[in-house]
Amino acid sequence: MSTFIPQGMGWIPDLPDARDFTCTHDAVVPLLRRLKKSRRKEPDEVDLRGESEIDYFTLTENQGPLNCSTSHAVLSLVEYYERRIRGQTFEGSIRFLYKVTRNHIQKRPHARGDTGADLRTTLKMLTHFGVPPTEHCPYDVSDYDEEPSAFLYRLAKPFPGLHYLRLDQPNQNGEKTWRILKSFLAAGFPVVFGFPVPSSLTAADIIPFRPDLDSIRGGQAVVAVGYRLNHLGRGKDAVLIRSSWGSEWGDNGNGWLPAAYLHKQLARDFWTLVCEQWLDPQELSLPKEI
């Protein structure tokens, strides 16, 4: 199969920050403890895309040439929780979130340039500003530098009590990150993260793992929506991911990332969202690794 070259990517790794909320943070533990641990053994396979003909995500989008994969990934989390927990379809404006994130990164309004972004700042801007519906600020690659109007800031949907929670802590080995990721996915929490895109990437739904052979095209932020043990062979597990390269990549925009990317700490910056209004014990459970 021929090489697949994404038009845009845009994930910038987070800088270390001791202020990151983790699953043991005092502000997070009481919220998560509202959920119950499942008595069942952690499954060999998880798929959070939907069940019983109910989809928890809309169709995968194509970011095109813009380096805004972090905004796509973060707003996919919001979409999931709104659809699964509240039974509502809410598609937030990617263009708005990407713009306010770049303004913050560059420490000035009217920031210019398709620079990409890190996940932490993208999540921070979501909690600070909220996000307006996409129909009021549609995705348009030609207008990505246009400053949002005051009307859009007022229209932005807030998420009271929203926390962004980091799963991979400093000096944490990749095997532990893999265990924590599996436990959150099994409990119903999708997770955003970034990984280096290899030069051998094709349109197939399995991303190659050849770190000694491949060069790196750039960094891409995606959503982990499941996993499957031994998917790539005995002892070779994989993460089910939702990307923003459109339906032409993978299985309608979904694919598999070898868990070796986590074991070797090539994939990093794993985050999920915790919010009071989304903590429904009928839909989510307490991750076993907490």
Residue count (the chain): 290
pLDDT at 110 over 70: no
What CATH number has the domain bearing residue 234?
Answer: 3.90.70.10
pLDDT at 129 over 90: yes
Average pLDDT score over the chain: 95
Give CA–CA dist 191/118, Å, rounded: 15
204 found inside a domain: yes
pLDDT digit string (tens) for 162-179?
A: 999 999 998 899 999 999
Number of folded domains that form the chain: 1
Give the domain range for residue 262: 29-34+43-278
User: What pLDDT is recorded for position 124?
Assistant: 98
284 found inside a domain: no
48 found inside a domain: yes
253 found inside a domain: yes
pLDDT digit string (tens) for 190-210?
A: 999 999 999 999 999 999 999
3-state secondary structure 94-144: HHHHHHHHHHHHCCCCCCCCCCCECHHHHHHHHHHHCECEHHHCCCCHHHC
Give CA–CA dist 264/153, Å, rounded: 41
pLDDT digit string (tens) for 61-101?
A: 999 999 999 999 999 999 999 999 999 999 999 999 999 99
